[in-house]
Amino acid sequence: MRHPGGLAGDWGRGWWVFAALIALTIVEFGLLLVDMPVGLFRVLLVALNLADAWLILYYFMHIAQLWRGD
């Protein structure tokens, strides 16, 4: 079943997700420039990487379809 907006909507959404992944990567590299405790750095880095992983799994690998009934 197609989403409203068809293929053009899917492509547009894909580009927005790709832009979000780029922004998250820039923030990850920006964390290196900030002086903070090691524990906080690790927590923030793991949180950002989990956000990256969720975006990739949900929008590009379509993991939600594994549990959705047809």
Q: Where are the domains of the chain?
A: 6-66
Q: What is the pLDDT of residue 18?
A: 92
- Separation CA 62–CA 70 (nearest Å): 14
Cα 67-20-25 angle, rounded to 5 deg = 110
CB atoms within 10 A of CB 44: 15
* pLDDT digits 0-9 by tens, 19-70: 999 999 999 999 999 999 999 999 999 999 999 999 999 988 888 888 876 6
Q: What is the pLDDT of residue 4?
A: 64
Whether the full predicted model's pTM is greater than 0.75, yes or no, is no
